[in-house]
Amino acid sequence: MPFDELGLSDKVLQAVSAAGYTEPTPIQAQAIPHVLARRDVLGIAQTGTGKTAAFTLPMLTLLEHGRARARMPRTLILEPTRELAAQVEENFDRYGVNHRLSVALLIGGVSFGDQDAKITRGVDVLIATPGRLLDHFERGKLLLSGVELLVIDEADRMLDMGFIPDIERIVKLVPFTRQTLFFSATMPPEIQRLADAFLHNPIRVEVARAASTATTITQRLVATGKEAHQKRATLRDLIRGASDLKNAIIFCNRKRDVAILHRSLLRHGFNAAALHGDMDQRARMAALDSFRTGETTLLVASDVAARGLDIPAVSHVFNYDVPHHAEDYVHRIGRTGRAGRSGEAFTLVAPGDEKSLAAIEKLIGQQIPWEGPNVSELGERPVSDERRSRHGRRGERESRRSEGARQSPARPARREKVEHQETERAEAPQQASPRRIREDRSPRRDRSESSKSRRSGQDREHGETDRPVVGLGDHVPAFLLRSVATKRTRGSSE
């Protein structure tokens, strides 16, 4: 079915044709007619199937009639991350070239002043992350009573990031008579509950089994050691040995590992950039732009890059860590093999990752083959000569540390030295303690010289050198020696 049979306006069809698209994807072909008919839609499709255009194109057609009012947007699109929100704005800029619609983007990392100015002039399309949207609402700069169409995109990612309470609050602020479009790549029970609460008699559009992976992606598991340096060495070997690698995204579970792995790849001569949630917005967009344009070959990222980013020509995906949530695996490897292209995905599996791997294989309904031996067959890897020469003394210390941990007996030379020192201390004459020597040499003394000599003379007479002090010692303050008169109680005997 071509685009001109879906009911889109002429302006939208011209923009789609100018972008080079002639045939809609399955989710676009099924969802667009229902959106134009003002029905609620529940869309379920794997990542990379064109969900963004499935609601962008009909929204442009519906917004051709009417005008925006100050601080009251006509439509609202909620996205879990800044990158996804910026990508949706790019879709409106691309397909809305023939429209005179105002689009505002409310995301963190940008000043409130510029965003307030756009809202005040009136916007037809408001694209926002939940936190920044509520910030504007609480400051009295935004009214949601005029929203005619609400889009909740990547709902399962909203759940993972803890945005569901914010989403529930926002839904209560928009009119009850709104049209709602709800899109998600997976449909866990929590998301199904939200869909039942937010949607009214929805049309369910499901073009692929929930949590399935694209057939164009070749998936492999690679066994590696548990130590960080072993995983980094395995990853470097994979990158160097990968066939037809044009660019690749490397996913880590933690932001700290993203920074460490990025620095390691740069040290070994790779062209890499980093992307994680703790970076400011300008640095995040710069890293994405350099990767999209081909200036950077490798993008080391956290799961902030796993959802919805439209980078169509990614040839490889490397999972440096096995994801904790099985659904994240589907989204990660979905960055490759998009729009019918072929892609390859490699996942590094270390001892202890077996439980997470089993959950992934259960979710996708297939066994992922191993590239080489599996993790149970992998033995201890020796430290390579290349790594020893690269790191010098540091590499030698790390290798000796692992060997020394297995040698329980102490070194004989050190044991003899310790025993010799203990013998010398036992045979040496008794001397004053170092603490007393330091006190005698100290220029500041609380006691007078006469009291010091008198006290030391008393100690010598009684043979009590360095005796321990109990309580207040020999000195008792005078106020403790005074008698205390107690008040006699009534009725006491004489």
Domains of the chain: 3-206 (3.40.50.300), 217-402 (3.40.50.300)
The residues, any chain, with a CB within 8 Å of residue 263's CB and separated by 6 or more, are: none
Strand order of the β-sheet with 316-319 is 217-223, 343-349, 316-319, 248-251, 298-301, 272-275
The amino acid that residue 320 corresponds to is Y
pLDDT at 483: 76
Asked if 179 and 150 count as a contact pair (C-beta separation under 8 A), the reply is yes
Q: What is the pLDDT, as a whole number, of residue 406?
A: 43
Distance CA 112, CA 115 (A): 5
DSSP string, 314-355: --EEEESS--SSHHHHHHHHTTSSGGG--EEEEEEE-TT-HH
Angstrom distance (rounded) from CA 24 to CA 335: 20
| DSSP-derived secondary structure letter, 384 | P
Distance of CA 204 to the CA centre of its chain: 31
Q: Is 453 exposed, middle or buried (0-12, 13-18, 19+ CB in 10 A)?
A: exposed
Give the per-residue pLDDT at 176. Answer: 93
pLDDT of residue 208: 64
Task: Return the SS3 of 221.
Answer: strand
> Would you say 155 and 187 are in contact if contact means Cβ atoms under 8 Å apart?
no
Q: Give exposure, 253-267, as e/b (b: 16+ Cβ within 10 Å).
A: bebebbbbbbebbee
Could you give the CA distance from residue 308 to residue 334 in angstroms, rounded to a whole number? 9
| Residue 49 confidence (pLDDT) | 74
Cα–Cα dist 163/109, whole Å: 18
- Distance between the two ends of the chain, CA-based, in angstroms? 115
Q: Which two tokens stand for residue 311?
A: 């980078």
Of 310, 305, 364, nearest to 341 by C-alpha is 310
- Cα–Cα distance measured from residue 346 to residue 365, given in angstroms and rounded to the nearest whole number: 18
CB 333 within 8 A of CB 317: yes
The pLDDT score that the predictor gives to residue 438 is 42
What contacts 24+ positions apart, CB below 8 Å, involve 194-201? 194/155, 194/164, 194/167, 194/168, 195/42, 195/155, 197/168, 198/152, 198/171, 199/40, 199/42, 200/40, 201/39, 201/40
| Distance from the Cα of residue 358 to its chain's centroid | 22
Tens-digit pLDDT string for the chain (494 aa):
788 889 999 999 999 999 888 889 889 999 999 999 999 999 987 666 788 899 999 999 999 988 888 899 999 999 998 888 988 999 999 999 999 899 999 998 788 998 999 999 999 999 999 999 999 999 999 999 999 999 999 888 888 788 999 999 999 999 999 999 999 877 888 889 989 999 999 999 988 665 667 778 899 999 999 899 999 999 999 999 988 899 999 999 998 999 999 999 999 999 999 988 788 878 888 888 899 888 999 999 988 766 656 676 889 999 999 998 888 898 888 888 876 678 899 999 999 999 999 999 998 888 999 998 888 877 544 444 444 444 444 444 544 454 454 444 444 444 444 444 544 454 444 444 444 444 444 444 444 444 444 444 444 444 444 555 556 666 777 777 777 776 665 554 44
CA-closest candidate to residue 185, choices 157, 150, 151, 146? 157
* SS3 at position 110: coil
